[in-house]
Amino acid sequence: MPPTYAMPMMMLRNKLIAGLGAVAVLALLSPLADANGRRDEQDAARRAMLDGQVMPFAMIKRRVDGQMGDATYVGSEFNPSSNRYRLKYVKDGKVVWVDADGRTGDIMGMAR
């Protein structure tokens, strides 16, 4: 490589290394931020259950599972402002979101 190209290539390499380092740091911090948000959600659900505002999640999930047939349960979210759970299932290769009332376990709606 002629000497005139050596400096720009070195600068490009340094920028690339710095950029990859920044991406690596963000990738490491992202799960931590998500885990803290998820932990807060779990704490809110537990407090609501202990305060008698919602049924235990296992009971809600069992009721919803009974109506979802052969769908595969994937995960859930809790909304403390409405005391609702959103359960995620996969059925026939499609994602199905099921909203359940945390107080009664009744299905409030479904979305694909």
- Could you list the pLDDT tens digit for every one of the 112 residues in the chain? 555 666 676 777 777 776 666 666 666 655 544 555 567 888 988 898 898 889 999 999 999 999 999 999 999 999 999 999 999 999 999 999 999 999 999 999 999 8
**What is the reported pTM?**
0.63
Give CA separation, 28 vs 2, 21, 33, in Å. 39, 11, 10
Task: Tell me the two tokens of residue 17.
Answer: 């290394």
